[in-house]
């Protein structure tokens, strides 16, 4: 599905990267710990998180993450927005909690970028 | 193409944490290394940069890269690590609240560096500092003798 489909499913607002809504996504990873994201997330995945600081964008850039979805209605700081614009990483914000966000995407065909740790 | 470059990292400057790793990632892409090699090198570099910012007064990251491999050395003047074996265990952490707020300090840093590098060396002295050396090999080239660059690189 495209980022635009994700936006619809999550009733989300696009804050950075409106020009990238056509991007295809198939997998996702949910976490509030960037160290875990660095350990387990795969390239071209969505990153679902409740963190809003610039390190989220930095982590996404290092890992070639397709887009960041901020959950629980969280909004990025101004610094985070600036860095995301500079590194061209889309940010969406949804009011759904992390569990609902993950569930809704999974039901629509997005799968985890890994199923279990130690399985890759 | 070969690149050798040294970057300084300021301890405690959380706003700038990651600048060096992004710059290094750009250089590695320019060298033309495959995506997976660039990504693994960027991850180990970023983890070491976060560690310098989190635990040291100042530090340095030295990059040496060509089409065969990437070597990243991270050295700092900082608190050092008392028990490296314990520090390497997933989940072990001495991070401050500030580090944890950023989403780090979960005790995954050193094990991530080891996980993503093909060669990993660490040495540390309490009250002096820490030295980490990591090598990420371009496996696309190394494992593929039919690669157009293989002969000139390895013979």
Q: Which domains does chain A have, with CATH numbers?
A: 3-112 (3.40.1390.20)
Q: Which residue has the higher pLDDT, B104 or B155?
A: B104
Residue in chain B closest to A52 (alpha carbons) equals B102
Residue B11: predicted pLDDT:
95
Q: A58, B22: Cβ pair inside 8 Å?
A: yes
Q: Which residue has the higher pLDDT, A95 or B107?
A: A95
pLDDT in tens, B33-48: 999 999 999 999 999 9
> Given a cut of 60, is residue A14 above it in pLDDT?
yes
> Count of residues for chain B?
155
- Chain A nearest C-alpha distance from B122 (Å): 19
The neighbour count for residue B41, using CB atoms within 10 Å, is 30
Q: Chain B, 52-91: which have a CB under 8 Å from a chain A CB?
A: none
The domain that contains B56 carries what CATH number? Answer: 3.30.565.10
Q: What gap in Å lies between CA B53 and CA B49, rounded to an integer?
A: 6
Q: How many domains does chain B have?
A: 1
Tell me the chain A residues in contact with residue B105 when contact means C-beta distances shorter than 8 Å: 35
Residue B153: predicted pLDDT:
78
Q: Which domain holds residue B148?
A: 3-154
Task: Work out the end-to-end distance of chain B between its first and last CA atoms, rounded to an integer number of angstroms.
Answer: 17
Residue B30: predicted pLDDT:
95
pTM of the model: 0.90
Nearest CB partner across the interface for B103, out of A33, A43, A63: A33
8 A C-beta contact, residue A85 and residue A20: no
Residue B62: predicted pLDDT:
98
Residue B154: predicted pLDDT:
77
């Amino acid at each position: 599905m495209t980022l635009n489909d994700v936006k619809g499913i999550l009733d989300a607002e696009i804050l950075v990267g409106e020009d990238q809504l056509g991007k295809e996504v198939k997998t996702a990873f949910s976490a509030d710990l960037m160290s875990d994201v660095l350990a387990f997330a795969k390239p071209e995945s969505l990153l679902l998180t409740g963190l809003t600081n610039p390190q989220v964008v930095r982590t996404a850039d290092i890992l070639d993450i397709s887009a960041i979805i901020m959950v629980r209605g969280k909004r990025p700081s101004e610094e985070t927005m600036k860095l995301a614009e500079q590194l061209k990483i889309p940010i969406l914000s949804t009011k759904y909690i992390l569990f609902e966000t993950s569930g809704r995407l999974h039901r629509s065909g997005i799968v985890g970028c890994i199923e279990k740790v130690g399985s890759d | 193409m070969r690149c050798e470059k040294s970057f300084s990292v300021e301890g405690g400057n959380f706003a700038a944490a990651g600048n060096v790793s992004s710059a290094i990632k750009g250089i590695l892409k320019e060298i033309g290394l495959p995506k997976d090699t660039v990504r693994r090198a960027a991850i180990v570099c970023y983890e070491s940069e976060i560690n310098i910012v989190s635990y040291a007064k100042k530090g340095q990251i030295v990059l040496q890269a060509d089409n065969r491999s990437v070597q990243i050395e991270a050295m700092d003047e900082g608190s050092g690590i008392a028990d490296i074996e314990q520090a390497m265990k997933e989940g072990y952490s001495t991070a401050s609240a500030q580090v944890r707020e950023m989403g780090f300090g979960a005790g995954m840093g050193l094990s991530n560096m080891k996980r993503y590098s093909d060669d990993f060396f660490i040495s540390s002295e309490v009250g002096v500092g820490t030295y980490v050396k990591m090598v990420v090999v371009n496996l696309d080239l190394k494992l593929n003798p039919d690669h157009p660059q293989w002969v000139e690189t390895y013979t």
